[in-house]
Structure 1
């Protein structure tokens, strides 16, 4: 598979610490996936199942696990804050995929994320899987505090554990344009917090992230490695508007949302602590949330137009 070769060649390794691990051939293969009901986790699970690999779906309640059980998956019930339940869900797994639940309006100092981090670290320490892949993000290495600092905390905690760890850092998700389908169709506008609208940034489809995660988790490595992932080309808000123009067959343009209106807008939408989100957007616009070296990122295959087509079709053309 070409993707596997690409990952092997272009993998960015932070450090590698030799560890004693039970050889995979003596273990019953099982891939335990958190976040399986979302786009990334679902894409990862489907890719593993298509490759004939066994999957354990970790879900919050049995109802959410039924569709995965029907596909032949093991099902384990656990929330990300429940260390005891997670330990049981991780036990016997060859490898575990960690997808931290998103918190878009966190309390100061990110206590919600810290509760998940503590639980996940405790469970991994007890269950001792051979390998772990954690979904992180571009900008997890940023020094400035912002919404993505929750991922920085998770990376720091998991990197301290004596296990083989891959930190998968995807770019801005193309799927975020789901919020723009209605305004693009109705008013011919998409409202962009990224500015200027002509500046292209790394973006990636959730489906690509899931497929790459499925490839990575089947590999063998030691220590901690960082994999940075973006789509086949860099994309600007103007490019996203052009994709909508193509798909909808009508002119669509990107309009920047003025920085001075952000706080009032976010608070009107119910946010209590919008500063972390605002600082994250500043990071993308000011360039301090970015991949350090484009040449070392791996590339997905799904274009912005393909993502827009799927989202528009999903809402009805």
Structure 2
């Protein structure tokens, strides 16, 4: 039995479905019991728990061969990341009590850094909280999600421009499809190892913002160019999008641009190059944006 959290999200959902398809027993961990019917139809057992409820998580993780955990995505956190801190402590406590056979956790590129991470600080907190665990632990550190381009499609359709915060426009950045992360998480769950593993994940090609704009244009059927968003406009834009504390998002982007957030040197960790190209993801995003 594998317990998979965040099954209503892209990565958790893909992980759970891949394990079920391979014939493994899965316990789908959800916050909302009403969403459990879909998973029961797929043959999964359902457990209800929030990321900050150590008791409910302990019950969900009890008796399992392995668990998949992650930080709750939060692009507008409160100062000091109190929610991420609570969630990390609760998940670590639950794992310590339940003693599953292994743990696979979703972190991020740069998750090893102790400062300058911005929003990625939230997954670093989970890495730190799980550090004392003694069972086998695999930390997945995928790069920038291709699906983040969903928010670029509407302005591209309207104006022919893709606003870009990543810079310079001609710098290639590693990108990854969430479906590939889920597939790798599921595969890792079924593997046997001892101690700790760190698995870095990127897609088959690194893309510049210029290339991404061109690919978005191909997906939506009109020419699109990348346009840098001036640094002086970031805070106002992020506040307009609902971020009362925009500094973490600003810090994260600046750290990507400076190279502070990056994979560790070659050979330090496992490094997986996944197969899904950006074109495949954009074709699907264009249907829903």
Q: Residue 314 of structure 1 corresponds to which residue in structure 2?
A: 288
How far apart, CA to CA, are the structure 1 residues paired with 2:77 and 2:263?
A: 25
Q: Residue 276 of structure 2 corresponds to which residue in structure 1?
A: 302
Q: 1:221 aligns with which of 175, 193, 198?
A: 193
List per-residue Cα deviations over 1:143-178 (Å, max 9, x = no partner). Answer: 423221121121111011111100000000000001
How far apart, CA to CA, are the structure 2 residues paired with 1:105 and 1:182?
A: 21
Conserved? CA contact 1:188–1:251, under 8 Å: yes
Q: 1:280 aligns with which of 240, 252, 258?
A: 252
Q: How does 1:186-265 map to 2 (within 5 A)?
A: 186-265=158-237
Q: Residue 37 of structure 2 corresponds to which residue in structure 1?
A: 66
Q: Residue 153 of structure 1 corresponds to which residue in structure 2?
A: 125
Conserved? CA contact 2:76–2:242, under 8 Å: no
* Deviation of the 1:186 alpha carbon: 2.0
How far apart, CA to CA, are the structure 2 residues paired with 1:266 and 1:110?
A: 17
**Structure 2 unmatched ranges of 5 or more:** none
Q: RMSD value over aligned CA atoms?
A: 1.2
Q: Residue 85 of structure 1 corresponds to which residue in structure 2?
A: 56
Alpha-carbon distance change, 245 to 269 in structure 1, aligned in 2, over 3 angstroms? closer
How far apart, CA to CA, are the structure 1 residues paired with 2:173 and 2:113?
A: 16
Conserved? CA contact 2:163–2:226, under 8 Å: yes
Q: Residue 47 of structure 1 corresponds to which residue in structure 2?
A: 18
How far apart, CA to CA, are the structure 2 residues paired with 1:301 and 1:188?
A: 29
Does 1:124 pair with 2:95? yes
Q: 2:109 aligns with which of 129, 134, 138?
A: 138
List per-residue Cα deviations over 1:29-62 (Å, max 9, x = no partner). Answer: x111001101111111121111111111000121
Conserved? CA contact 2:70–2:126, under 8 Å: no
* Deviation of the 1:109 alpha carbon: 2.0
Moved more, 134-143 or 76-85: 134-143
Q: Residue 36 of structure 1 corresponds to which residue in structure 2?
A: 7
Conserved? CA contact 1:159–1:224, under 8 Å: no
* Deviation of the 1:314 alpha carbon: 2.8
Alpha-carbon distance change, 92 to 83 in structure 1, aligned in 2, over 3 angstroms? same
Q: What is the TM-score when the length of structure 1 is the normalising length?
A: 0.87
List per-residue Cα deviations over 1:192-230 (Å, max 9, x = no partner). Answer: 110111111111000000000000111011111100000
List per-residue Cα deviations over 1:223-265 (Å, max 9, x = no partner). Answer: 1110000000111211111111222222011111111111121
Q: What is the TM-score when the length of structure 2 is the normalising length?
A: 0.96
**Structure 1 unmatched ranges of 5 or more:** 1-29
How far apart, CA to CA, are the structure 2 residues paired with 1:208 and 1:237?
A: 21
* Deviation of the 1:123 alpha carbon: 0.5
Conserved? CA contact 1:103–1:112, under 8 Å: no
Q: How many residues align?
A: 286
SS in 2 for 1:129: coil
